[in-house]
Amino acid sequence: MNGRMKISAAALIVFLVTPAVARAQVGGPGFLFAKPNVQLQIHTGYSVARAGSDIYDFVVDSLTLKKSDFNAFSIGGQLAFRMTQRLDGALTVTYTGATRPSEMRYWVDNNNLPIQQDTRFSRVPLTFDLKYYLKPRGRSISRFAWIPTSWSPYVGGGVGVMWYTFRQSGDFVDSQSLAVFTDTFESSGHTAMWDLFGGADVSLNKNLVLTGEARYDWAKAPMGQDFVGFQKMDLSALQMSVGLGIRF
């Protein structure tokens, strides 16, 4: 093989190998990937209801319920997209709900048996949030490489809408005739809300993120026609959650 053929063969090898090397740098192991712009997360946690309006006082006094019975486990998701180096916009939705059995606290029926009912309370907040990271989430070391920091604390807040349901079904005592009757009382709908939160992302690897967060929701809504005479229902709650996210 003469010198000119050797040079041509070498040039062909370089031409074939270079794109493969570039692809390996972009998608290979380690931290060799472009700066992520989106983070998708699922989270679960526990919601502690403030229970600060008179409907809670009424049911706690008349039924064998406690205000802590309106606390419940939660599950939800979040889609966050990078706006600047430290600021994300995020769409967050969470479901919290539980059904608690109870009895009339001061009354029994004609057979001296408890008068029983179930109380259902659920909340679904959907918010658009701004999420500010208190330190850089990572650093770029080349056009293709971005290294995430081990952990990144953040704070934020937002506004949105909350769907809610408060339903009681079972047996009750008529306050006038003292007769026992079966019925269902419900107040449901949606209302405006806002929230504040803080937490931290912990990098598990180049793609996976573990998140711990505390979030407080503020919301009130008028009671339905089945609960005439009551104040607006307090829907505020503190939610503590742990989430697992993927960034890309």
Domain shared by 22 and 39, yes or no: no
For residue 235, give the nearest of 220, 213, 222 by alpha carbon.
Answer: 220
**Greatest CA separation for the chain:** 113
Q: pLDDT at position 148, please?
A: 87
Q: Determine the Cα–Cα distance for residues 20 and 68; give it in Å rounded to an integer.
A: 60
pTM of the model: 0.84
- Same structural domain for residues 52 and 124? yes
- The alpha-helical segments, DSSP class H, found in 37-150 are 54-62
Are 15 and 188 within 8 A, CB to CB? no
Rg for the chain, CA atoms, rounded: 28
Distances (CA, A) of 110 to 113, 173, 175, 179, 222: 7, 12, 16, 9, 36
Instruction: Specify the 3-state DSSP secondary structure of 10.
Output: helix
Tokens of residue 181, six digits: 């009757």
Give the domain CATH number at 202: 2.40.160.20
**45 and 244 Cβ atoms separated by less than 8 Å:** no
Same domain, 10 and 77: no
Q: Are residues 17 and 139 in the same domain?
A: no
Verify that 86 and 192 share a domain, yes or no: yes
Q: How many CB atoms lie within 10 A of CB 28?
A: 12
Domain shared by 5 and 40, yes or no: no
The amino acid at residue 86 is R
On the 0-12 / 13-18 / 19+ scale of CB atoms within 10 A, 190 is middle
Give me the domain span that covers residue 9.
1-30
Domain tally, the chain: 2
Residues 9 and 78 in one domain: no
How many C-beta neighbours within 10 Å does residue 119 have?
A: 20
pLDDT (0 to 100) of residue 35: 80
Shared domain for 82 and 109, answered yes or no, is yes
d(CA 43, CA 244): 6
Task: Note whether 16 and 54 are same-domain residues.
Answer: no
Whether residue 29 contacts residue 60, with contact meaning beta carbons closer than 8 Å, is answered with no
- Assess whether 13 and 86 both reside in one domain: no
Q: What's the CA angle centered on 195, arms 158 and 167, to 5 degrees?
A: 125
Confidence (pLDDT) at 33: 61
pLDDT in tens, the chain (248 residues): 454 444 444 443 334 434 433 433 333 334 446 788 999 999 999 999 999 999 999 999 999 999 999 999 999 999 999 999 999 999 999 999 999 999 999 999 988 999 999 999 999 999 999 999 999 988 877 766 888 899 999 999 999 999 999 999 999 999 888 899 999 999 999 999 999 999 999 999 888 999 999 999 999 999 999 999 999 999 999 999 999 999 98
Tell me, yes or no, whether 89 and 152 share the same domain: yes
Query: The tokens of 102 are what?
Result: 């109870």
CA dihedral 39, 43, 48, 54 (to 10 degrees): 70
Task: Give ∠ CA 182-186-192 in degrees, rounded to 5.
Answer: 170
